[in-house]
Amino acid sequence: MNTPKGWYEGVSMSRFSMCIGCEGKIPYVSALYTEKKLGSRSRSHRASTYSVASWSRQLCVSCQLSISYIEQIGCPHCGRAVRCTDCERHPLLAYGLAANRSAVAYSEAMKAWLHRFKFQGDAGYAAIMAGMMLHRYELLAATISNFHQQISISPLPFYERLRRWLYRLPSVPYPDVVTFVPSTAERLVERGFNPAERLATLLATAWDCPVMPLLTRMTDQGRQSHLGRSGRELALAGAYRCHTQTLQTLCANTNTSNKSPMYILLVDDVYTTGSTVRACAGALTGALRDYEISAIICSYTWARA
């Protein structure tokens, strides 16, 4: 949907657009109002692509209200809304993962949206999901207390400092590199794209930082959605490796004299048992140690099951 540029375009264009969530009509007044109320809070609006910056415009008010944002962090490790014993049994840090945060709880409505994005290839959902992740990033990142001690916060431009002061936004770090959970070759052929890569690319573009394919998927043991926790852990053991060539590029561009560790953000669509991000973080941590790169890895997923 294009914004009318003047009175002529305003009266000549259709008065409605279609909601990408429910395919219902969105009147322009509502669309423009919701853009103002729920617009992206990405660090650099100029760097955002049009569709991500205006993601909320593509949803009707009812669909916007159906978004099940995680409002409070019950588990400080995996970012679940309720306290979880999983992280006590399998601490993320043991795999080199500082923390996970997710934008939404994986409700029935969110499941339906992801299904349309993943299995029907509806690319419009990528912008909407990335928009939600951008919208929630600052609030979620602020809940990781270690950030402030371990990761340096790069100096922000004056207008951004002013905006934060005006809206009382916390100062949170943005990643030095964004990476993503890789797909198997079979899935790539089947779907034609990797959902995690799409989300990572949209986030990195909005934050004006590089996105690098640091990981590769070695084997395909079939779909894991039917497996339990221990089954998934076993299936994923050794399934991910660091992409050596990309890691070498990262090394070449890393200033080793810089004392503060690099902040790597691993992006995926859904955190279910955490076995995928744990396996990825484990592979990444081992390779970074070999290359003597000091890094903090966090994961950020669109949904938390």
Which residues contact Zn ion (rule: CB under 5 A)? 19, 21-22, 24, 60, 63, 75, 77-78, 84, 87
239: left (phi over 0), alpha (psi -120 to 50) or beta: alpha
**Beta carbon of residue 30, minimum distance to Zn ion (angstroms, whole number):** 11
Nearer to Zn ion, 39 or 210 (CB): 39
Q: Which two tokens stand for residue 187?
A: 């899935």
Q: What is the C-alpha to C-alpha distance for residues 180 and 246, in angstroms, rounded to an integer?
A: 13
Nearest to 34 by CA among 106, 101, 131, 115: 131
Give the nearer residue to Zn ion in terms of CB position, either 10 or 24: 24
Closest contact distance (angstroms) between CB of 304 and Zn ion is 9
Of residues 47 and 142, the one with the C-beta less far from Zn ion: 142
Q: How far is the CB of 49 from Zn ion (least distance, A)?
A: 22
Nearer to Zn ion, 86 or 160 (CB): 86
Shortest approach of Zn ion to residue 255 CB, angstroms? 34
Smaller CB separation from Zn ion, 16 or 193: 16
Q: Do strands 295-304 and 97-105 pair parallel, antiparallel, or not at all (unpaired)?
A: parallel
Tokens 């198997």 belong to residue: 184
Residue 84 CB, nearest approach to Zn ion (Å): 4
If the CB atoms of residues 93 and 123 are measured against Zn ion, the closer one turns out to be 93
Q: Is 231 exposed, middle or buried (0-12, 13-18, 19+ CB in 10 A)?
A: middle
d(C-alpha 232, C-alpha 76), whole Å: 23
Q: Please, what is the minimum distance in Å from the beta carbon of residue 82 to Zn ion?
A: 9
Which is closer to Zn ion, CB of 21 or CB of 195?
21
- Tokens for 111? 């499941």
CA distance 243 to 287: 9
Residue 3 tokens, joined: 């914004």
Which tokens is 140 given?
Answer: 């979620």
CB of 89 to Zn ion, least distance (A): 10
What does the radius of gyration of the chain's CA atoms come to, in whole angstroms?
A: 20
> At which residue do the structure tokens 């423009």 appear?
32
Q: Specify the DSSP element, H or E, that contains 302.
A: strand 295-304
